[in-house]
Amino acid sequence: MHQTFDAALGINLLHANQAGADHNREHFDEWGITCLNIMSSPGAGKTVLLERTLEKLSHEVKIAVIEGDMTTELDAERLRQYDVPVIAINTGRSCHLDSKMVAGGIHRLAHEYNPSDFDLVFVENVGNLVCPAEFEVGEHAKVALLSIAEGEDKPLKYPVMFQEADCLLITKMDLAPYLEIDLNRIISNVRQMNPTVTIIPVSAKTGEGLDEWFSWVSSQLNHPATTHHYSRLVSN
Ligand SMILES: Nc1nc2c(ncn2[C@@H]2O[C@H](COP(=O)(O)OP(=O)(O)OP(=O)(O)O)[C@@H](O)[C@H]2O)c(=O)[nH]1
Ligand SMILES: [Mg+2]
Ligand SMILES: [Zn+2]
Ligand SMILES: [Zn+2]
């Protein structure tokens, strides 16, 4: 997180962010929308996963995307090809989305569409394994991606992301034969951080694990996890 040299400032920042996250969640709940916050380090495969997911689910489920990137609308343009509303948010110098930026996005969505028509909003966060995990944006569940190429030790070195995730996708499984990496070791390191997280190894290239991912997404439509991660962070 930013400005960790001053713990009090950090707590204040998170408190202010939490008020905005609660505001956003109230909107989502009022409109009957489930919001999933998709997070990972840069390039782990968030946008490709969303492309596969929109391809599969956007005919049955009414979906919108809030796409966060520091600059450019490159990812937003990729997702617009699937005929869903994609609200692009450029964060400038900030390496995560905060609840105020996402509020801007959902107010735009509500202005341009009837928000009650939507079932599901995906937020693609800025590629970063650290602060997106701490800045709640009003989501009902957090999804973290870790690509198989990133190393077995990442859950231990970047614990907050793995502690906070409700679902962890281990991505790019098609690359596993080319790497000296032990999937079971990754899984046991994740379990050390978070014994209850749903873990799904996937490949957007071969389709491995995607059906299980689609089922998990569908299960969130009726029974969202709605964990209040922030309270846990502050009280600990
Ligand atoms: N081999 C393989 N490559 C993948 C897979 N998923 C994504 N990629 C590749 O990984 C690169 C990054 O994918 P993106 O989906 O753009 O990653 P991202 O997490 O959205 O990246 P940022 O938004 O920049 O953080 C692209 O070249 C993808 O084609 C996969 O399952 N297998
Ligand atoms: Mg992306
Ligand atoms: Zn940041
Ligand atoms: Zn509002």
In a domain, 185, yes or no: yes
Q: Is 181 in the pocket of ligand 1 (CB under 6 A)?
A: no
Tell how far the Cα of 176 is from the centroid of ligand 1, in angstroms: 15
CATH number for 166:
3.40.50.300
Does the residue 231 lie in any domain? no
Sheet holding 167-171, edge to edge: 86-90, 63-69, 120-124, 34-39, 141-147, 167-171, 198-201
Contacts of residue 65, Cβ cutoff 8 Å, sequence gap at least 6: 50, 54, 76, 79, 84, 85, 86, 87, 121, 122, 123, 124
Please report which confidence band the pLDDT of residue 7 belongs to, taking 50, 70 and 90 as the band edges: confident
Amino acid at residue number 74: L
The CB of 42 under 6 Å from ligand 1? The reply is yes
Mean pLDDT calculated for residue range 6-10: 80
- Residue 51 burial (C-beta neighbours within 10 Å; 0-12, 13-18, 19+): middle
129 three-class SS: coil
* Domain housing 139: 7-226
Assess if residue 234 is contained within a domain: no
pLDDT of residue 125: 98
Of the candidate ranges 12-16, 32-36, 108-112, 214-218, the one whose mean pLDDT is the lowest: 12-16
Q: How many domains does the chain have?
A: 1
Q: What is the pLDDT of residue 148?
A: 98
* Residue 230 to residue 101: CA distance in whole angstroms: 18
Which residue's CA lies nearest to atom 1 of ligand 1?
A: 172
Residue 217, phi-psi category: left (phi > 0), alpha (psi -120 to 50), beta (remainder): alpha
43 lines ligand 1 (CB under 6 A): yes
Of the candidates 66, 60, 111, 57, the residue with the CA atom closest to the CA atom of residue 85: 66
Q: How far apart are CA 129 and CA 154, in angstroms?
A: 9
165 alpha carbon – ligand 3 mean position (Å)? 17
pLDDT tens digits, 125-140: 999 999 999 999 999 9
In a domain? residue 1 = no
**226 C-alpha to ligand 1 centroid (Å):** 28
Tell whether 205 is covered by a domain.
Answer: yes
Q: Does 8 have pLDDT greater than 50?
A: yes
Assess whether the C-beta atom of 102 lies below 6 angstroms from ligand 1.
no
Q: What pLDDT score does 225 carry?
A: 56
Find the 171 Cα to ligand 2 centroid distance in Å: 13
Alpha-helix runs per DSSP H in the chain: 7-31, 46-57, 74-80, 99-112, 154-157, 159-164, 183-193, 210-222, 229-235
Task: Take atom 6 of ligand 1 and give the residue whose Cα is closest.
Answer: 45
Percent of the chain with pLDDT over 90: 88
Q: pLDDT confidence of 2, banded at 50, 70, 90?
A: low
Tell me if 176 CB under 6 Å of ligand 1. Answer: no
Q: Which atom of ligand 1 is nearest to the CA of 48?
A: 15
What is d(CA 144, CA 158) in angstroms, rounded to the nearest whole number? 12
